[in-house]
Amino acid sequence: MTAPPAWWKDAVVYQVYVRSFADSDGDGIGDLAGLSDRLGHLKTLGVDGLWLNPCYPSPQVDHGYDVADYTDIEPAYGTLASFDALLAQAHDLGLKLLLDLVPNHCSSKHPWFQAALAAEPGSPARDRFLFRDGRGPGGDEPPNNWPSVFGGPAWTRVTEPDGSPGQWYLHLFDAQQPDFNWRNPDVGDLFESILRFWFDRGIDGFRIDVAHGLVKHPALPDMGLDKALSHSPMWNHPDVHDVYRRWRLIANSYAGRDLTLVGEIWVPEVEDLALYLRPDELPQAFYFDLLTQPWRATALRTAIESGIKHIAEVGAVVTWTLSNHDVHRTVTRYGQDQSIVVGSSQDPAAGTRARGPVDLAQGKSYARSAILMLLALPGSVYLYQGEELGLPEVMDLPLTARQDPIVFRSGGRDLGRDGCRVPLPWEHDAPSFGFSPADEPDGPATPWLPQPQWFADYSVDLELTDASSFLSLYRRALQLRREHFAAPAAPLEWIELPGRDDALAFRRGERVCFVNCGAEPFDLPSEWGTVILASAQVSGHTGRTASPASTVWLTTTPTT
Ligand code: GLC
Ligand code: MG
């Protein structure tokens, strides 16, 4: 008998930004007990699992992506005991749980970095990070020209223990996120023990933060500023693949668990992405090429085709996503001018955080259409919290409220990522829209990022009772996806639509997914069968006219 396919191959996973999901103790900060209390929302939504953004002890400079201790829980979020309780509860509900592993860098408060600062240049403690002497007179210039993803240089100079100006250390992100030296075996050993610590506790996998960044070019040479990112000495070094070969062996050693590792890999070429998905490396990696496309049929089709082709060539399945905690929300992105070409940049996600006017009606139509398209594709899907409510990005957070280091390091040029991290609205008429408990002795809690008044209209309680809401569409779609599009469903075949290059259609066995990106209605051919679900009304005198800016699912199998 052959084993059933691994659960993650066609799973829908919901990304929980713990800090902003639900607050149980009234400090205005989401926590694990708050998530436990609201886990029913994910169960009724119909997802297969959840991925938690980092919830380890952290100074929270980059909200958990600056880890001070990899084997404990951030006190503001709970304890190992509250984590165990959450995990048990998730498993009781049949939900898988993934954590977020941050192996490229730690917090400057991590004991290893503190020890490195206290040690001599050239010492073993310093060799766990990337310390180098500066260039120029007095070593006053950074060792090379690498920029930080968050803006400014990727190097910061330290003061040596004797008070003299000292060496520089590398940080691809914030200065308080020093990069590990992955060519030092201590680092690999540390992370293997971290993987085992959490796998032994019972989690179902990890999302791997900046998985293409761990191993740098050994000489740390200047980058040619004209070269594509994938060829820069900062990213995607071939030696990084050895790390994932070792990790895959560890994951596989937990027989019968189907543990997954999902890479966050922003490389411009899908061929390079596919290399990480070879059978002895990562089971999964996000396919970001679709996320960065405008809502244009030709662009979407090209991205889907290329992802499926190259990822299938290494025997893997595509992990689709249109949203996460680093990019503007889909309603906002798709409500902007879709002809804006996303320029190349040191931070490939920066183009998804454009400013400019937003047509909310357009954004909502496209975002509803987009989720139905995504859920009909072969592979797994990751959804970011709040997308199921159709929440727009909060674009007008005052600078004083913003917390993302990108805002400060870019001198305010980049709006940063706070606008998709505003605490969720659960109840339209409660203080903090039900994010924190209402009955605190000192009055209502203040959420860590301010919620705009209009969040009330997107609250879970209202959307649950409104058949036309985003939440109703998501729930219906997730339920029907299991029946119609989940594995072992048929592979994708394109259906040509002569004269309609503003629309696309594909078949999966007896099912058809039709996506109308254009402004003209479309008459659905009778051979596509009956309508299963549509993101906007299907009307017309024959009752088979798809609206402009809508997606329709159909089937030729008689449905009950
Ligand atoms: C990843 C995370 C992002 C974080 C960065 C540095 O891109 O998704 O939120 O700031 O890595 O850890
Ligand atoms: Mg709290």
> Which tokens go with 51?
């991925």
Of residues 488 and 150, more confidently modeled: 150
Whole-angstrom Cα distance, residue 411 to residue 198? Answer: 38
Flag whether pLDDT at 487 surpasses 80.
no
Confidence of residue 342 (pLDDT cuts 50, 70, 90): low
CA of 37 to the centre of ligand 2 (A): 12
- My answer on whether 100 and 189 are in the same domain is yes
Distance CA 100, CA 31 (A): 16
Q: How far is the CA of 28 from the centre of ligand 2 (A)?
A: 6
Residue 219 has which token pair? Answer: 């000489």
The residue behind tokens 């390091």 is: 409
The DSSP annotation for 339-359 comes to TPPPPP-SSTTGGGS--S---
Q: Angle CA(13)–CA(269)–CA(219) in degrees, nearest 5?
A: 105
Look at 121-135, 337-351, 374-388, 457-471 and tell me which has the smallest mean pLDDT: 337-351
Measured by CA distance, the residue closest to atom 9 of ligand 1 is 326
Q: Looking at per-residue confidence, does 351 or 333 come out higher? A: 333
Is there a single domain that holds both residue 435 and residue 300?
A: yes
Q: Are residues 547 and 448 in the same domain?
A: no
Pair (308, 454) in one structural domain: yes
State which ligand 1 atom lies nearest to the alpha carbon of 104: 12
Q: Say if residue 83 is in the same domain as residue 160.
A: no
Residue 265 CB less than 6 A away from ligand 1: no
pLDDT of residue 219: 95
Q: What is the CATH number of the domain that holds 20?
A: 3.20.20.80
Q: Which helix (H) or strand (E) is 480 found in, with range? A: helix 470-484
Q: Are residues 357 and 402 in the same domain?
A: yes
Residue 422 domain flag:
yes
Q: β-pairing, 131-132 with 165-170? A: antiparallel
Same domain, 166 and 193: no
Averaged pLDDT for residues 59-74: 98
- The residues facing 156 across adjacent strands are 169
Would you say residue 149 has pLDDT above 90? yes
At 378 the pLDDT is 97
**Is 174 near ligand 1, meaning CB less than 6 Å away?**
no
* Ligand 1 contact via 65 beta carbon (within 6 Å): yes
Q: How far is the CA of 97 from the centre of ligand 1 (A)?
A: 20
pLDDT of amino acid 543: 84
Please check the confidence at residue 501 and state whether its pLDDT lies above 60: yes
Q: Which pLDDT score, from 0 to 100, does residue 347 have?
A: 77
One domain for residues 150 and 216: no
DSSP strand pairing (530-534 vs 550-555): antiparallel
Same domain, 459 and 500: no
Host domain of residue 401: 10-105+185-474
Mean pLDDT of the chain: 95
List helix spans (H) across 38-157: 39-45, 80-92, 111-118, 124-127
Same domain, 334 and 234: yes
- How many Cβ atoms are within 10 Å of 480's Cβ, its own excluded? 21
Among 413, 442, 474, the domain boundary falls at 474
CA of 20 to the centre of ligand 2 (A): 9
Domain containing residue 551: CATH number: 2.60.40.1180
Give the pLDDT band of residue 225 (cuts 50, 70, 90).
Answer: low
CA of 209 to the centre of ligand 1 (A): 6
Decide if pLDDT at 50 tops 80.
Answer: yes
What pLDDT is stored for residue 542 in this prediction?
82
62 lines ligand 1 (CB under 6 A): yes
Beta strands in 135-202 (DSSP E): 155-159, 165-170
According to DSSP, residue 30 is labeled -
* Residue nearest to ligand 1 atom 12, measured at CA: 65
Instruction: Give the domain CATH number at 150.
Output: 3.90.400.10
Kindly report the protein residue whose alpha carbon is nearest to atom 7 of ligand 1: 210
277 and 162 in a common domain: no
Mutate which of 210, 264, 288, 410 for ligand 1 pocket (most atoms within 8 A of beta carbon): 210
Residue to mutate, 65, 212, 267, 345, ligand 1, most ligand atoms under 8 Å from C-beta? 65
Total domains in the fold of the chain: 3
pLDDT score of 159 more than 90: yes
| Ordered strands of the 545-546 beta sheet | 522-523, 545-546, 538-539
- Are 197 and 315 in a shared domain? yes
Q: What separation in Å is there between the alpha carbon of 515 and the centre of ligand 2?
A: 41
State whether the beta carbon of 113 lies less than 6 angstroms from ligand 1: no
What integer pLDDT is reported at residue 341 of this predicted model? 55
Q: What is the pLDDT of residues 381-436, one digit of tens each?
A: 999 999 999 999 999 999 999 999 999 998 888 889 999 999 999 999 999 999 99
Q: Within a domain: residue 46?
A: yes
Amino acid, single-letter form, for residue 190: L
Ligand 2 centroid to residue 43 C-alpha, Å: 22
**Nearest by Cα to 234 from 288, 169, 158, 154:** 154
Indicate if the pLDDT at residue 271 is higher than 60.
yes
**Residues of the chain with pLDDT > 90: what percent?**
89
Segment 70-95, tens digit of pLDDT:
999 999 999 999 999 999 999 999 99
For 243-257, what is the mean pLDDT?
Answer: 97
138-166 average pLDDT score: 95
pTM for the whole thing?
0.97
Lowest-pLDDT choice from 91-95, 116-120, 353-357:
353-357
What type of residue sits at position 5?
Answer: P
